[in-house]
Amino acid sequence: MRHRIPLLRELPPEVAVLTAVAFCVALGFGILAPAIPIFARSFGVSAFAATAVISAFALMRFVSAPFAGWLTSRIGERTTIAAGLIIVAVSSTLAGFATDYTNLIVMRAVGGVGSSMFTVAAQALILRVVDAPQRGRASAAYQGGFLIGGVAGPAVGGLVLAISLRAPFFVYAASLGLGAIVCIVFLHPRRMARLNTAAEPEVLVAKSGLPELKIALRNRAYIAALAANLAGGLVSFGLRAALVPLFIIEGLNQSAGLSGAAFLVAAGAQAVLLLPAGRWTDTRGRRIVMIAGTSITAVAMLALTLSDLLSNDPSHNSVFGVVMLFVAMAISGLGSAFLGPAPSAVVGDVIGNSRGGLVVSLFQMMSDLGIVIGPLLGGLLVDAFDFEWAFAMGLVIMVIALILALAMPETLRRRPTVTE
């Protein structure tokens, strides 16, 4: 695949291919995300049940991650990525035709399996094809594909949502199909075979004979990366994706179309800082970037909490709550930019150029776990109390991740040891 972007010219061609695939996935998901809880709510279910649709997708991603790692080792990254994308596309089409809540949640759960296959295989390939000084930039480029699609998706998401609550599911399926085609055409089988032949031995296992995952779990940097991925999944993809659309309608008494604008602001802010964050990860270190990401995201959750408090305060006009919402979404986008490349680079530092399947799978599972429990706990808190309680929970989780980032060692210029 030809590419003219300077950043991509510095990296292996697989990074450019996966960046293009990520764009296709994010373009459709950016259109779909605001519609999921609203569509579920149209079946007359509670806020908890509506957010559970998002959790079902993430739960299946979580439980199928070890299988996705095993499958990647058995049939290769290229086939696993393409098969995963096709599974999500088919399930999304069927979800769009759902006639009741049960059909919707089952189809989204099936899609979670395919999503896990794509995500684990793509993450493993990204970390394997680059050297340590490139890991932050490679992760940023890959996530940049998600971000560009994430900016474009919400930009038209409101228009698609205005046509029908079902239309976003079909648009998402089409974008996933395009991503599968890009993967099949441009990830050449012969080059993939050469990469497999050139792979280094499992360096984490070689010195002690202990399982690689057991050794990684004794590394404080890897633990901090797991915590950052868990917190990011819970806050950015769990609470934010599940509750902000409902908060706009039920908390701020605004139209559903405002959701697209709010997510566009967050995606745009993340896009501005993502590439610099990847560069800083490779030059200034993983630790400082993770500290910045957790700190900024904690501030964003505080701002969301204040947004709900202002909207409920009769002494303030409702416009204050709306303004604070957009401020919070912008700040959360900036935090997500830092939380993208740094934790992934830490994992790459831990496994080297080896496959490290279990280490990568557990890292991905933490994000999925956050996406599972975030909407469920958030929905329960909204049903029992109000939105500010759910946003405050996200603040507490992110502060815990910040503490672990402060305690981690730097992994950029040396291989982390078991005793760290």
Burial class (CB in 10 A: 0-12, 13-18, 19+), 132: middle
Contact 68, 121 (CB under 8 A): yes
DSSP code at position 132: G
C-alpha to C-alpha distances, 101 to 95, 97, 310, 381, nearest whole angstrom? 10, 11, 33, 21
Q: What are phi and psi of 360, to 5 degrees?
A: -70, -40
The CA-CA-CA angle for residues 48, 49, 51, to 5°, reads: 65
Cα(44)–Cα(86) distance, integer angstroms? 30
Burial class (CB in 10 A: 0-12, 13-18, 19+), 238: buried
- Give the sign of the dihedral formed by CA 259, CA 112, CA 125, CA 357: positive
pLDDT on residue 83 = 92
Cα(287)–Cα(54) distance, integer angstroms? 31
Domains in the chain with CATH codes = 6-407 (1.20.1250.20)
pLDDT on residue 86 = 95
pLDDT on residue 211 = 52
pLDDT on residue 238 = 73
Among 410, 403, 294, residue whose Cα is nearest residue 346: 410
Burial class (CB in 10 A: 0-12, 13-18, 19+), 419: exposed
Cα(6)–Cα(173) distance, integer angstroms? 31
pLDDT on residue 113 = 92
The 3-state DSSP class for residue 402 equals helix
pLDDT on residue 87 = 94
| Residue 399: CB atoms within 10 Å | 16
What are the pLDDT tens digits along the chain (420 aa)?
444 455 556 677 788 888 889 888 888 887 887 788 888 888 888 877 887 887 788 788 888 888 887 788 778 788 899 999 999 999 999 998 988 899 999 999 999 999 989 888 888 888 777 777 777 888 888 878 877 876 777 667 777 777 788 888 999 999 999 999 988 888 877 666 665 544 444 334 334 334 566 777 778 888 999 999 999 888 877 777 778 877 777 777 766 667 777 877 887 788 788 888 888 888 888 889 999 999 999 998 888 887 777 666 555 556 777 778 788 888 988 888 888 888 888 887 777 655 556 777 788 888 878 877 887 788 788 778 877 788 888 889 999 999 999 998 888 764 444 434
Cα(8)–Cα(334) distance, integer angstroms? 22
Half-sphere exposure of 220 (CA within 13 A, CB side): 11
The 3-state DSSP class for residue 277 equals helix
Question: Which residues make Cβ contacts (< 8 Å) with residue 167, sequence separation at least 6?
Answer: 96, 160, 161
Burial class (CB in 10 A: 0-12, 13-18, 19+), 392: middle
Contact 138, 15 (CB under 8 A): yes
Question: Which residues make Cβ contacts (< 8 Å) with residue 198, sequence separation at least 6?
Answer: none
